[in-house]
Amino acid sequence: MIYPPHVEYFLKIVFSETILRMCPHLLLWPCENPFRCRSLPAQRKIYMRSPPIPEMATQEVQLNETLAHLKTESETLKSKLEEERAKLHDVELHQVAEKVEGLGQFVMKTRRTLKGHGNKVLCMDWCKDKRRIVSSSQDGKVIVWDAFTTNKEHAVTMPCTWVMACAYAPSGCAVACGGLDNKCSVYPLSLDKNENLAAKKKSVAMHTNYLSACSFTNSDMQILTSSGDGTCALWDVESGQLLQSFHGHAADVLCLDLAPSETGNTFVSGGCDKKANVWDMRSGQCIQSFETHESDINSVRYYPSGDAFASGSDDATCRLYDLRADREVAIYSKESIIFGVSSVDFSLSGRLLFGGYNDYTINVWDVLKGTRVSILFGHENRVSTLRVSPDGTAFCTGSWDHTLRIWA
Amino acid sequence: MIWSISADFERGSPHIETNCNYKMQYTNWPIKSNVMIEDIVTRIQDETEGVPIRTVKSFMTKIPSVVTGADIVQWLMKNLSIEDPAEAMHIGSLIAAQGYFFPISDHVLSLKDDGTFYRFQAPYFWPSNCWEPENTDYAIYLCKRTMQNKTRLELADYEAENLARLQRAFARKWEFIYMQAEAQVKIDRKKDKTERKILDSQERAFWDVHRPVPGCVNTTEMDIRKCRRMKNPHRVKKSVYGLAEEGTQSQSPIHTPSHHCRKGTKEDVEKEILFLNTQLDRHCMKMSKVAESLITYTEQYMEYDPFVTAPEPSNPWTSDDPSFWDLEASKEPSQQRVKKWGFSLEEALKDPAGQELFLKFLESEFSSENLRFWLAVQDLKRMPQQEVAQRAQDIWTEFLAEGAPSSINLDSHSYERTSQNLKDPGRYSYEDAQDHIYKLMKSDSYTRFLRSNVYQDLLMARKKVCVFLSVINTRVSSNMYFV
């Protein structure tokens, strides 16, 4: 409908006021695209505030006072919350686990070494067929391997270096990757080895800083990403449309993991703000938050039942958080472990937690008893990525020494 | 070997603000590991609690301020509670590689558990001081070394190569570098002999860290994602030899000045308060219950965990035999696999064979529409965005509309909410309904399924076959005797 200009102007003012009242982005997030919400303050300046007046000074003082008051309120609530949670902390996990039979001696060795990357391996992911993997490296190369035979099946050269994230599609027919280009791109894998994969590339996600992690959801049609810009986002692969964005981290988000449940719609993310946040994919809300690490959280992974998750951090510890207790329930650390954890994953039953460390080793932890079961040497530089295979028969590590290793 | 990392990150992308070809300096900063290492290094040099550092007499000279590798390994084992000497050597080698102590007679920084002599690095040269030594400094250093007429200070092959390369690169500046080197030598000559020995070795160790022997790990390489935490992002390069600074500012290509930790604005704090209030209302489980639950789950699945229980017939990765995977993929699920379907409805549905059997069972009970609805909604959530609205409508028509062919039974509340959602159909329009149906199946049909003949037969199937075969065997053998 076209209105005369003066009516249009009037409507503009009225409607923008209405929008502002409905969506002040303080309490509600009804917008599909919160990026729009963020631009409102600028509009607000135009429509609600006249040019600066002397009262501004008083207003600013008031604002600071309000802010201080709010901060105190927030701190009080935090202590109260800690108090409430502590009341339910009646016993430690490892104490209850004393009755559980100890694990025997483990013989875990490198069963395959995958050589082919020309620089630091940064990320890897398994295919659902339990033997293929995709890996990405600092030199811009993304390689798909049949880890069982150690043959390279596909190779793509990305237009940027530091490809920090890669993921295999559930169908096994595509891979996603990204890094310093701030994007996540999907490459369909063709059976024709001679075909140029780069030609079919599809750009899906666009962030304003590096892509730190990506993962397909239950289908090839959606991708979840995390970025150095402090946000996570859910994208529709076919159209590249942003379906949902997740704001709440105060610094770079370094990792994410989707809940294993078929019925679940949540995922957990970890960031440089030392927080691990659990998100509802449908609403974009943060539903739980954990802040006990003393440094960046480099990796998060759900416990197989989906009721808990583990995290690995630069503070040289791995921790287990339970969602039902809303609390940290175990710490995996040793005096002799002083280098950060880059990557963690559980064995199929959740009894073992594997951690890849910046001191070139892998430490294997008994999740229930809290003790270290084994330390594995082999890599000649930092272990940057670690994933257990879909059927739990092996785990794969990628390292700054340019190689990947399969351990079983 | 890399000592100047040219940033060729972006070939034509508009997003990164810096251009190609700028030299990126990685700095070290007080990350947690460094803090922990420095604590260890301070303790290890303590007069009473540390290792014995002493002057050792050797031939006609004295070797000042050294400790043996074995002493360091022993100290680490005792003070860091390490049981395996190999582990102590590994961690010790890493601390050495970072540059906190070094072997006095080797460029390769590693710890040996024997009589090899080590010296501690001066705090001036510690990584946490954010050194970014320039090639000019390195050139001065190598030049200086050639001026000192001592065999023990002769350049190694790789150092000679580096020097040659630098001479070519700095051809125009070489006079300046030479003069600086001469000045350094003059200053050094004035120092006390013992002091000189120590300082020389420490300086050499510094360069072993920043210009490592080819083939050795360069521990100054940093994760590009962590570059933001530079002590002083706009710092000008610092020269080891106190030379005047040369001007180009170093800057992280990722974290430009505008990128900073989001400070807590009023809106952020208000949001946080809301969040905290929600958390306070949350009903949480006691730790004892949580522990029991985790233990129960883990114990139940341990027989399926290949790291704990060896898979049958073998783990493909250890035996190089993929039959385990072939069996898993076959149409006939193993008894063990069938047993898993009894753990939870989720397990049964996760396995395609389990899902198929459950569906068949429901069909026999004329209640398959529930599972088909659930599967359809799962499918809906996986669709590309464009197809979502149509599919949501189709589901309504099939399962929920008046006179639907596969009408499901929903309570009025869920029905109301769902029909409201359908006014703006999306992939989550059926969440309530799906949840309700899932709970129904779980409490009702699933429990009956587990008790049903189809499931029990499959669970016991092998046993029956085995019994049958063994009966035949005995009959055959007994027949043979008769004849």
Residue B471 has pLDDT above 80, yes or no: no
Query: Which helix (H) or strand (E) covers residue A81, if one does?
Result: helix A56-87
Residue B153's pLDDT is what? 64
Predicted confidence (pLDDT) at residue A55 exceeds the cutoff of 60: no
Taking each helix axis from N to C end, the angle separating A56-87 and B266-281, rounded to the nearest 10 degrees, works out to 20
Last residue of a domain, one of B145, B175, B190: B190
Quote ipTM for the complex. 0.86
Contact A234, A222 (CB under 8 A): yes
Mean pLDDT of A228-256: 97
> A78, A239, A324: which to substitute to probe chain B, counting the most B Cβ within 10 Å?
A324
pLDDT given at position B12: 32
Domain count, chain A: 2
pLDDT in tens, B71-86: 999 999 999 999 999 9
pLDDT at B467 over 60: no
- Answer yes or no: is B229 within a domain: no
Does B372 share its domain with B355?
yes
Residues B53, B168: one domain? Answer: no
Q: Which residue of B has its CA nearest to A85?
A: B284
**B166 within domain boundaries:** yes
Residues of A in contact with B336 (CB under 8 A): none
Sheet strands side by side (includes A222-227): A211-216, A222-227, A231-236, A242-247
Provide the H-helix boundaries in B115-263. Answer: 135-147, 157-169, 174-189, 193-210
Contact A359 B298 (CB under 8 A): no
Q: What is the mean pLDDT of residues A375-387?
A: 98
Could you give the CA distance from residue A41 to residue A22 in angstroms, rounded to a whole number? 14
CATH number at residue A143: 2.130.10.10
How close, in Å, is residue A190 to chain B by CA atoms? 21
Residue A62 pLDDT: 78
Do the domain assignments include residue B257? no
B435 contacts on A by Cβ (under 8 Å): 263
Residue A123, in any domain of the structure: yes
Compare CB distances from B280 to A71, A84, A236 and report the shortest one's residue. A84
The predicted pLDDT at position B234 comes to 44
Q: How far apart are CA A260 and CA A302, in angstroms?
A: 7
DSSP B396: I
What's the rounded Cα separation, in Å, for the pair A358 and B412?
A: 56
Beta strands in A228-293 (DSSP E): 231-236, 242-247, 253-258, 266-271, 276-280, 286-290
Do the Cβ atoms of B187 and B200 come closer than 8 Å? no
Confidence (pLDDT) at B259? 45
CA-to-CA distance for B388 and B270, rounded, in angstroms? 35
Cβ of B382 within 8 Å of Cβ of A358? The answer is no
Q: What are phi and psi of B321, to 5 degrees?
A: -115, 115
Task: Examine the pLDDT at B139 and tell me if it is beyond 70.
Answer: yes
Q: Which residues of A touch B441 (CB under 8 A)?
A: none
List, as one string, the DSSP characters of A238-252. Answer: TT--EEEEEE--SS-
Q: Is A262 helix (H, G, I), strand (E, B) or coil?
A: coil
Same domain, yes or no: B403 and B304: no
Flag whether pLDDT at A194 surpasses 70: no
Q: How confident is the model at residue B25 (pLDDT cuts 50, 70, 90)?
A: very low
- Burial class of residue A107, CB neighbours in 10 A (0-12, 13-18, 19+): exposed
Q: How far is B266 from chain A (nearest CA, A)?
A: 6
Q: Cβ B308–A400 below 8 Å, yes or no?
A: no
Task: Say if residue B312 is in the same domain as residue B346.
Answer: no
Question: Is residue B464 domain-shared with residue B391, that is, in the same domain?
Answer: yes
Selected for mutation to probe chain A from B5, B83, B87, B223 (highest A CB count within 10 Å) is B223
pLDDT of residue B331: 74
Regarding whether A240 and A252 lie in a shared domain, the answer is no
Which residues in chain B touch residue A160, judged by CB atoms under 8 angstroms apart?
A: 9-11, 13
Confidence of residue A2 (pLDDT cuts 50, 70, 90): low
Give the single-character DSSP code of A326. Answer: T
* CB-closest option in B81, B294, B328 to A93: B294
Q: What is the band of A63 on the pLDDT scale with cuts at 50, 70, 90?
A: confident
Residue A91 lies in a domain: no
Same domain, A358 and A401: no
Q: Are residues B339 and B476 in the same domain?
A: yes
Confidence grade of residue A33 (pLDDT, cut at 50, 70, 90)? very low
Token output for A114: 């995958």
More confident residue, A68 or A165: A165
Whether pLDDT at B465 is above 50: yes
> Domain check: are A140 and A227 in the same one?
yes
The residue of chain A nearest to residue B306, with distances taken between CA atoms, is A393
**Residue A105 domain-assigned (yes or no):** no
Residue B152 pLDDT exceeds 60: no
- Angstroms from B262 CA to nearest CA on chain A: 5
Measured over all CA atoms, what is the biggest interatomic distance in chain B, rounded to whole angstroms? 112
Instruction: Indicate if A205 and A296 belong to the same structural domain.
Output: no
Partner residue facing B87 (CB), from A84, A282, A375? A375
Q: What is the pLDDT of residue A41?
A: 39
Percent of the residues in chain B that have a pLDDT greater than 70, as a whole number? 81
Average pLDDT of the residues in A230-253: 96
CB contact under 8 Å between A208 and B15, yes or no, is: yes
* Domain coverage including residue A318: 248-377
- The listed range with the strongest mean pLDDT (A187-201, B128-142, B245-259) is B128-142
Tokens 């043996």 appear where? Answer: B68
The residue from B326, B355, B382 where one domain ends is B326
Work out the number of other CB atoms within 10 angstroms of the CB of residue B10.
Answer: 20
Scanning every residue of chain A, which has its alpha carbon at the shortest distance from the alpha carbon of B293? A307
pLDDT at A199: 80
**What local confidence, expressed as pLDDT, does residue B257 receive?**
43
Whether A212 and A295 map to the same domain: the answer is: no
B56 and B124 inside one domain: yes
Distances in Å between the Cα of A70 and the Cα atoms of A66, A247, A391 are: 6, 20, 49
In a domain? residue B467: yes
Residue B445 shares a structural domain with residue B367: yes
Question: pLDDT higher for A15 or A395?
Answer: A395
Q: Are residues B364 and B461 in the same domain?
A: yes
Q: Same structural domain for residues A395 and A274?
A: no
Q: Give the sign of the dihedral formed by CA A294, CA A297, CA A301, CA A306.
A: positive
Q: Is residue B391 part of a domain?
A: yes
**Considering the domain boundaries, does residue A135 fall inside one?**
yes
Mean pLDDT estimate for chain B: 84
3-state secondary structure of B454: helix
Judge if pTM exceeds 0.95.
no
What is the per-residue pLDDT across A114-167, written as a single tens digit (0 to 9) for each? 999 999 999 999 999 999 999 999 999 999 999 999 999 999 999 999 999 999
CATH code of B102's domain: 1.10.10.10
Residue B29 scores a pLDDT above 60: no
**Does A103 fall in a domain?**
no
Q: Per residue in B45-71, pLDDT tens?
A: 999 999 999 999 988 889 999 999 999
pLDDT at B236 over 70: no
Q: Cα(A56)–Cα(B469) distance, rounded to whole angstroms? A: 93
> Which of A408, A397, A396, A353 minimizes the C-alpha distance to A120?
A397
Element (DSSP H or E) covering residue A354: strand A352-357
Close Cβ partners of A168 (under 8 Å, ≥ 6 residues apart): A125, A126, A127, A128, A132, A133, A134, A174, A175, A216
Rounded to the nearest angstrom, the gap between the alpha carbon of residue A134 and the centroid of all alpha carbons in its chain is 18
In a domain? residue A353: yes
Do B389 and B437 have their domain in common?
yes
Tell whether the model's pLDDT for residue B423 goes beyond 70.
yes
In 3D space, the residue among A328, A229, A315 whose CA is nearest the CA of residue A288 turns out to be A328
Among B279, B228, B471, CA closest to A78:
B279
Contact B9 A81 (CB under 8 A): no
Pair A240, A252 in one domain = no
Write down the pLDDT at residue A49: 40
Residues A127 and A212 in one domain: yes
Going by C-alpha positions, the residue among B163, B134, B357, B346 that lies closest to residue B250 is B134
* B362: amino acid identity, one letter: L
Residue type, A142: V
Task: Flag the least confident range among A53-57, A288-292, B348-352.
Answer: A53-57
What is the rounded distance in angstroms from the CA atom of residue B25 to the CA atom of residue B131? Answer: 10
User: Is residue A380's pLDDT more than 70?
Assistant: yes
Q: Is A193 a residue whose pLDDT tops 80?
A: no
Task: Tell me whether residue B280 is in a domain.
Answer: no
Residue A19 is assigned to a structural domain of this protein: no
Write the residue in A91, A238, A265 that is nearest to B385 by C-beta.
Answer: A238
Residues of A in contact with B226 (CB under 8 A): 296, 314
Q: What is the side-by-side order of every strand in the sheet holding A132-137?
A: A121-126, A132-137, A141-146, A151-157
Q: How would you classify residue B157: left for phi > 0, otherwise alpha for psi between -120 and 50, otherwise beta?
A: alpha
Segment among A6-15, A119-128, A345-354, B1-10 with least mean pLDDT: B1-10
Give the per-residue pLDDT at A64.
79
Rounded CA-CA distance B468/B284 in Å is: 53
Rounded distance between C-alpha atoms, residue B288 and residue A363, angstroms? 27
Whether A324 and A344 share a structural domain: yes
Query: Would residue A97 count as lying in a domain?
Result: no
CA separation, residue A40 to residues A250, A285, A286, A305 (Å): 20, 20, 22, 41
Residues of B in contact with A401 (CB under 8 A): 217
Highest mean pLDDT among A31-35, A128-132, B33-37: A128-132
Sign of the alpha-carbon torsion through A232, A234, A237, A241: negative
Q: Which of A213-227, B69-83, B111-125, B320-334 has the lowest mean pLDDT?
A: B320-334
pLDDT at site B28? 33
- Across the A:B interface, residue pairs with CB atoms under 8 Å apart total 288
The pLDDT of residue A262 is 78
Nearest beta carbon to residue A88 from set B81, B275, B286? B286
Q: What secondary structure does DSSP assign to B290-356, as a single string?
A: HHHHHHHHHHHHGGG-TTTSPPSS--HHHHS-THHHHHHHSSS--HHHHHHHTT-HHHHHHSHHHHH
Which residues of chain A does B304 touch, with a Cβ-Cβ cutoff of 8 Å? 348-349, 392
Do residue B435 and residue B385 come from a single domain? yes
Instruction: State the average pLDDT for chain A.
Output: 88
* Chain B residues lying within 8 Å of A261, measured CB to CB: 346
The counts of H helices and E strands in chain B are 20, 6
Q: Are residues A366 and A264 in the same domain?
A: yes
Distance separating alpha carbons of residues A243 and A235, to the nearest angstrom: 5
Q: Which residues in chain B touch residue A127, judged by CB atoms under 8 angstroms apart?
A: none
In which element (H, E) is residue A108 found? Answer: none
Is residue A43 pLDDT above 70, yes or no? no
- Same domain for B455 and B334, yes or no, is yes
**Residues of chain A with C-beta less than 8 angstroms from the C-beta of B224:** 162, 180, 210
Residue A232 contacts residue A279 (beta carbons within 8 Å): yes
Domain end position, chosen among B94, B129, B164: B129
Q: How far apart are CA B411 and CA A198, in angstroms?
A: 51
- Per-residue pLDDT for A176 more than 80? yes
Q: Running DSSP on this structure, what letter comes out for residue B243?
A: P
Structure confidence at residue B468 (pLDDT): 52
Q: Which residue has the higher pLDDT, A13 or A33?
A: A13
CA distances in angstroms from B385 to A219, A231, A242, B395, B421, listed in the order given: 12, 21, 10, 16, 16
| Domain encompassing residue B295 | 286-326
* Residue B169's CATH number: 1.10.1240.60
**Residues A271, A277, A282, A284: is their CA dihedral positive or negative?**
negative
- Number of structural domains (chain B) is 4
| Region A314-337 average pLDDT | 97
- Residues ≥6 apart with Cβ < 8 Å to A325: A85, A88, A89, B284, B285, B286, B287, B290
Binary contact (B288, A208; C-beta < 8 A) = no
User: Within this chain, do residues A143 and A210 fall inside the same structural domain, yes or no?
Assistant: yes
> Residue A94 is encoded by which pair of tokens?
């490892």
